[in-house]
Structure 1
Amino acid sequence: MAFGVLLALCAAVLMGVATVLQALGARMETVGGPVRAMLRWPFLVGVGVDAMGFLAEVVALRSVPLFLVEAALASSLAVTAAVAAAVLHVRLRPAEWGAVFAVCCGLAVLAVAAGHEGASDGDARLRWVTLGTSVGLVLLGWVVNRCLRRARAAVLGGVAGLSFGLTGIGVRLLPDDITVTGVLTAPTAYAVAVSGLGGYLLLIEALRSGSVAAATGAMVIGQTVWPGVFGVVWLGDTTRPGFAPLGVAGFMVSIAGALALARFGEAEQVAPTGAGAAGGPEGPGRPEGSGEPGKQGQVRPRGDTEDE
């Protein structure tokens, strides 16, 4: 149990640091566009760190309740905010430091209250439903991206969060004694691949469609709430006896703190400093529809103020 909690926290730290590294790589490339930015060493290291975080998440999901792992992953926004303040020279307001503190406190309470993961790994029908749902969410995201205009960033972010949550559920539904051959024939293994990749692509489209804060906030809610409920209702995840109210409180506080830090959900959107940043008014670092540079939806470099 303790090892699983540690791995969940490690996954959050690794993913939060990876976001900042990818942001650093994006800031180093102001002319060549996103493709060349992806070839910068900080971005490549960030991808590797992100992969390590995913592996830690997978192992944690096999030993602790879903609601704890998903809340820990949402807390990676607090890690991103804290590291961005030091590495990217981003100014955090007092309320944002308070949100970081709230995330830490909520996770500490949740870790104390969490019990053991449920013993159930579902039946064959549930595994096939999981695969079908993963495909359905990707198709839903495609329809939303094609047809919806208003609030598209938030809706796409929410669907991406549902897909990420389904990734965690798919990992939990893999049998404990599964072999390499079994993975190749397990519907939930394909559900993990489809929902993970699909959620990532949907999140990218959400961030391209509008406010980073709206997209990331919706993603956090979709990624945490329904997998936690699913784990309790269908997989038998529990808190310690008598600790259920404390667990609910810790979960809500950590998620509320993460939502308050939603603007750090995609730190790659950092705007290059200087008047002659490539791309002009609509250049890198300013997502479509995000408003003025330095406002909501972007990580603001140190020195900018709300009045500028």
Structure 2
Amino acid sequence: MLFGLLMALAAALCFGVAMVLQALGAQRHSPAAEGSGLLGTVRAMVNLPFAAGLLLDAFGFVAQLIALRSLPLYVVQAALAGALAVTAVLGAAMLKIRLGRAEWLGVAGVCVGLAVLGATAGKEGQRHPSTAFHWALLGAVALIAVVGGFVWKVREPARAAVMGTLCGLGFGVVGLAVRLLPSITWPHLGPLFSEPATYALLAGGAVSFVFMTEGVRGGKVTTATAAMVLGETALPAVLGVVVLGDRTRAGMLPLAIAGFAVAVAGALALARFGEVAPESDASAADQPSHVG
């Protein structure tokens, strides 16, 4: 279990550092220089900091998969939300973003909450839900996509909240799906291709990426990221306990709940770092976009 906890923290570290590196790369190629269209966006991604950030995202995803196979879901999801603490601290140092008192308290809350969760977490649940639940996850991704299609043209600020929530729920499906994947050995990969959870994982990740992009596109980064944090932590944590049988150490349930709440509250206090920007740009990012 210690190795799984280290992997969860490593995933949070990778995702947090990746966010800062991608922000550095994007700053070097402004829309004015590269163009605001799709081609300009692609050009802005072709630089060393941004590429390094993408590589760290890949390492973080692998670490997340390992952690999810050995830890309760509520611990891993809370740790991933804690990536915002890493981004905030690095952003303060590298991007000259000033942290207020509430944000430093958020960083402290994430650290304390995760420490409590690590100390109180039991082993991952060994309950095996029926095949119907595996298919239900895939159906949930389809439902998330359909709902997103219906609310696509909702106006801000509701749009950011809805898209962020859908993104978080999609990432929650990814976490649940990983726990349902069958154990395999190379080169016998056949069971993965016949497992609905495999496709729920892939589709959930893709849908979540689209909705997160749309959620921050209007400039309401804080709203979208806060909704995402709630979506990817609360419901998956409950399902991990009810469906997968995740538990805490004996007699430590109240303390674990408190640690989870503190960690998530700290992440919410750091929600504006869901899209890192220099302080001079932060106020502009909070304004609604009037572009097409």
TM-score, with length taken from structure 1 = 0.87
Which runs of no fewer than 5 residues in structure 1 stay unpaired?
274-280, 292-308
Letter in 1 for 2:111: C
Give the structure 1 partner of residue 247 of structure 2: 238
Contact 2:182 2:192 in 1 (8 A): no
Task: Identify which of 66, 72, 77 aligns with 1:59.
Answer: 66
Name the CA shift for 1:260/1:236 in 2 (closer, same or farther; >3 Å): same
TM alignment of 1:105-124, pairs within 5 A: 105-124=112-131
Tell me, in whole angstroms, the C-alpha distance in 2 between the residues paired with 1:177 and 1:34.
Answer: 38
C-alpha contact 2:98 2:279 (8 A) present in aligned 1: no
2:158 paired with 1:134: no
The counterpart of 1:173, out of the listed 174, 180, 198, is 180
Runs of 4+ with deviation above 6 angstroms: none
Instruction: State the Cα distance separating 1:89 from its structure 2 match.
Output: 1.4
Deviations 1:37-70 (A, max 9, x none): 1111111110010011011000100000000000
What are the superposed Cα offsets for residues 93-144 of structure 1, whole Å, 9 maximum, x if unpaired?
Answer: 1221111011100000011010000002322111111111112112211221
Q: Give 2:257's aligned amino acid.
A: V
Q: What RMSD over aligned residues (CA atoms) do the two structures have, in Å?
A: 1.9
Distance 2:287 2:42 in 1: 18
In structure 1, which of residues 243, 261, 267 is the aligned counterpart of residue 270 of structure 2? 261
User: Do the aligned partners of 2:14 and 2:57 also contact (CA within 8 Å) in 1?
Assistant: yes
Q: Supply the AA of the counterpart residue of 1:126.
A: F
Distance in 2 (alpha carbons) for counterparts of 1:22 and 1:272: 18
Counterpart of 2:37 in structure 1 is none
Superposed CA deviations along residues 64-91 of structure 1, whole A, max 9, x for unmatched, are 0000000000000000000111111111
- Cα contact 1:208–1:288 (8 A) shared by 2: no
Distance 1:216 1:200, change over 3 A: same
**Whole-Å separation in 1 of the counterparts to 2:278 and 2:200:** 33
State the partner residue of 1:215: 224
Given that 2:88 and 2:273 are in contact with CA atoms closer than 8 Å, whether structure 1 keeps it comes out as yes
Name the residue aligned to 2:165.
Answer: 158
Q: Alignment length, in residue pairs?
A: 280
Contact 1:121 1:172 in 2 (8 A): no
Are 1:13 and 2:2 counterparts? no
The percentage of aligned residue pairs carrying the same residue is 47
Q: Alignment partner for residue 103 of structure 2, among 84, 96, 102? A: 96
Say whether the 8 Å CA contact 2:168–2:208 is kept in structure 1: yes
Aligned to 1:41: 48
What is the CA–CA distance in structure 2 between the aligned matches of 1:92 and 1:215, rounded to whole Å?
20
**Where in structure 2 are there 5+ consecutive unaligned residues?**
35-39
How many angstroms does 1:182 deviate by?
1.2
The alpha-carbon deviation at position 288 of structure 1 amounts to: 6.2
2:173 partner amino acid: L
Higher helix share goes to which structure?
A: 2
Deviation at 1:287, TM superposition (A): 6.9
